[in-house]
């Protein structure tokens, strides 16, 4: 068995998982683990930390051997620290997981396959080291050819404001309505939640649109690909990824994601956030290059900092102002159902 593997659109991760929290004390640095707990709970058998002060997911605290006995097939590094480094303090736990018969899955900038001690242990125990942020080989340049099936892409005014949760919520809601739909992951946490996907931020720029075409191939006419967005067309650092994903996925519908109260690009205070009107307009204008029929299905607001009454008032106000449905998919409710109706019309 090979000790390394790449995640492509066809390779599924070994599920279920033991979630590794390391010694992370900030919940924000464990968003991968929290995302898996929230969106793939049936695939999470427990959690493991190497410090008593680490954050907890509220899952059973298991050793790798105990997790293996409960059916786990891999341990996922569920944290993303500054710099994406594998810390020395984690190594005993990572080695213990391999010894217990679990594969290791990571999405760090430091690749598991570039860590000699892990490579040696994986070969010794015939386990795999799976680096999620490794694009598949042979990604072609995009052709722009119109593909069959339907596609919805979550886009945003900025990074880290709800594009993944929006796409997951819409895909789940479509399935509840009996539609043929799949969530298409484009980032490490989404890939770990769904078990497959395309790590768009690790693809060479010339092949971004081609990678998006691979991720969303021809499909039956009634099938929906609901695609996790990345970055923002207005982001001075990540706009290239956003544009390649927009052109390659050829969405029939976009849903624009935004966090009320945020005024500047996160981490870049010299760059004001675009308005929702600007965001809708630019995505539609650029999206028409590969799909002239692209339209906006609505706006998804991350209202986690607002009360229920404040959120509903904002939905109504913004919907009247923008002329499209506005909702928070996590809150659900009639506003979200209206947004779904508009996406499907």
The answer to whether residues 22 and 90 touch, using CB atoms and an 8 Å cutoff, is: yes
Nearest to 215 by CA among 291, 156, 136: 136
User: What is residue 331's predicted lDDT score, i.e. its pLDDT?
Assistant: 97
Cα–Cα distance, 13 to 35 (Å, whole number): 16
- Exposed, middle or buried: residue 137 (CB in 10 Å: 0-12, 13-18, 19+)? exposed
CATH homologous superfamily of 4-131: NAD(P)-binding Rossmann-like Domain (3.40.50.720)
Backbone Cα Rg of the chain: 20
Q: Where are the domains of the chain?
A: 4-131, 150-344
Cα–Cα distance, 232 to 241 (Å, whole number): 8
The domain defined by 150-344 carries CATH number 1.25.40.10: no
User: What is residue 264's predicted lDDT score, i.e. its pLDDT?
Assistant: 95
Strand 74-77 to 17-22 pairing: parallel
Q: How many helices (H) and strands (E) does the chain have?
A: 11, 12
Strand arrangement, sheet containing 150-156: 180-184, 223-227, 150-156, 253-258, 295-301, 326-327
Give me the average pLDDT of each 10-residue run along the chain (345 residues).
Answer: 42 87 89 92 96 95 98 95 83 98 92 96 97 91 97 96 96 98 94 89 95 97 98 95 98 98 93 98 98 98 96 98 98 98 97
Q: State pTM to two decimals.
A: 0.87
Beta carbons within 8 Å of 127's beta carbon, 6+ residues apart: 1, 3, 98, 101, 102, 103, 104, 121
């Amino acid at each position: 068995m090979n000790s390394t593997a790449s995640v492509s659109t066809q390779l599924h991760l070994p599920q279920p998982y033991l979630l590794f929290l390391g010694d992370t004390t900030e919940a924000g640095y464990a968003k991968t683990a929290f995302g898996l707990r929230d969106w793939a709970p049936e695939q999470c058998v427990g959690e493991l930390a190497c410090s008593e002060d680490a954050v907890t997911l509220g899952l059973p605290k298991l050793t790798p051997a105990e997790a293996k006995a409960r059916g786990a097939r891999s341990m996922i590094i569920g944290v993303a620290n500054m710099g994406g480094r594998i810390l020395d303090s984690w190594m005993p736990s990572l080695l213990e997981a391999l010894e217990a018969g679990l594969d290791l899955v990571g999405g760090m900038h430091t690749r598991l396959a570039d860590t000699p001690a892990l490579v040696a242990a994986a070969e010794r125990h015939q386990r795999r080291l799976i680096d999620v942020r490794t694009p598949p080989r042979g990604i072609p340049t995009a052709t722009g050819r119109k593909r069959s099936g339907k596609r919805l892409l979550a886009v945003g005014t900025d990074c880290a404001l709800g594009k993944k949760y929006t796409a997951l919520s819409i895909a789940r809601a479509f399935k509840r309505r009996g539609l043929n739909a799949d969530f298409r992951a484009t980032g490490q946490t989404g890939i770990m939640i769904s078990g497959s996907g395309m790590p768009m931020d690790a693809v060479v720029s010339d092949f971004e649109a081609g990678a998006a075409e691979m991720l969303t191939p021809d499909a039956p006419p009634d099938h929906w690909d609901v695609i996790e967005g990345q970055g923002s067309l207005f982001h001075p650092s990540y706009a290239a990824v956003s544009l390649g994903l927009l052109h390659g996925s050829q969405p029939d519908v976009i849903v624009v994601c935004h966090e009320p109260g945020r005024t500047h690009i996160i981490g870049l205070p010299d760059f004001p956030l675009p308005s929702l009107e600007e965001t809708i307009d630019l995505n539609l204008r650029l999206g028409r290059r590969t799909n002239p029929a692209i339209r906006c299905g609505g706006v998804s607001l991350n209202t986690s900092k607002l009360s229920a009454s404040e959120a509903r008032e904002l939905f109504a106000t913004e919907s009247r102002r923008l002329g499209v449905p506005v909702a928070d998919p996590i809150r659900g409710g009639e506003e979200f159902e209206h947004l779904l109706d508009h996406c499907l019309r």
